[in-house]
A = this chain, B = another copy of it.
Amino acid sequence: MIPPDTSPTRTDPAPLHITVRTAVGGGRTLLSAFDAALLEAGVANFNLIVLSSVIPPGTVLTRDTTTVAGTHGDRLYCVESVAYADHPGEVVSAGLGWVFDPVLGGLFVEHTGGSEASVDEQIRLSLADMAHSRGIDYGEVSTAIVTAHCTTTPVCALAIAAYSVAGWTTP
């Protein structure tokens, strides 16, 4: 008797769960400002691997602020938008925008700028171009934009989409 095939298949995978997060962090270096933003976003203790920047069909996509589950040092596949301000008075914004259809999948875009309005405008221009060139109407645009204001030491504005965690036993 042939046992049932219970192995995961490419045609019927568990849905990917992507969480979108924004945060601001500060530190005495650009790097520790970035780390503080990652900590605030719940992803500081992972080895980030940056993707550009497509959403698979069937993905469950939510906004979240809780810490991503996983072991310290696991790899985390993500899409990120990062901007720094390190002169007192300087203001920067970073944002992700996306369109998503459950059947067709979707697209992320990453933009940075001097204001949230500028980032929002760039996001909508990019996504409109990208939908047009594919001949697909993905519907409504969503955004997650955050602003950091430097008063003394460096600050980091971070918008990040956390895709999937991979441990080191499955390299």
Contacts and interface: CB of A to CB of B under 8 A. Distances in A.
Interface residues of A, number: 57
A27 interface: yes
B125 A36 contact: no
Contacts of A164: 168, 171
A35 B6 CA distance: 38
Interface in A100-125: 104-105, 109-111, 122, 125
Interface stretch (A45-53, A83-91, A142-150): A45-53
Counting every copy of the chain, the complex holds 3
Contact of A71 (B32, B56, B129, B167): B56
A29 interface: yes
B36 A47 contact: no
Interface of A: 8-10, 13-14, 16, 27-29, 31-32, 35-36, 39, 44-49, 51-57, 59, 71-75, 77, 79, 104-105, 109-111, 122, 125-126, 128-130, 133-134, 163-171
